[in-house]
Chain A
């Protein structure tokens, strides 16, 4: 009797796990099945390296959006990664316990802020600030980078902090016992020892930034042209799909799905990188 129950429970667990796998597989199949015909019709090279996106003239080049995604993400990393890593070092090693109990929950709240709220913050604060400091419209690569950098902070901080905490305390104590200051111990011993975990934190942050849609649409300007300056508007791959999908039909619609394929390939590459890094950490 108990044996049957155990087997039944085992099946339930397996089934639950399969639902997630099933989801991933369905997404892959749908995306590639719907996207590849369009890629074939337009031509992969013309699609990926085409500089003009003009659906009314049947011109479908996503290079502006690919570059847009890369620039916005890179900008977010330039701002978010140093801040995130310094914060994680502070939280893991230098911060007094009382302060930690205040800062940590605040960072968790930041992680839970819906992206549309971050977008509102971007529109009301970041965009006008960019406009008054640098001129132009304000909606720009720079504005999107700032908003995204805030968004990826919780991810970078949490993953980097936990990889620092996973190190033996003997590394830190050993450095202090040799007369090193806490800061030197943190930066010359702990951070290098946690380097693969910190790199994984950066990769996860990159994934969040490149996949973000709503907050970016609200502050990036969304012009589907080749980006020319960080204070000019830009459209990302995600924004391209979300903005046009509502009214697209025919080849236009398929081209948007193909845009999703390009985005998905980026995410897959980042995931491969992430698992390679975490595997190195386990060794």
Chain B
């Protein structure tokens, strides 16, 4: 376990609700899982270069 993150009360309540509903053992576990999925998405996408090539093809950047 490392670090602490501040989130607002309303968001925490939502996270708690869905963590309970989806059977996570704790809010921490749910948050870690959600963040891992989100980061994987960022890592997986070699987005910038692909997008740039496409936009050049469409004439929107030079």
Real complex partners, A and B?
no
B residues touching A (Cβ–Cβ < 8 Å)? none
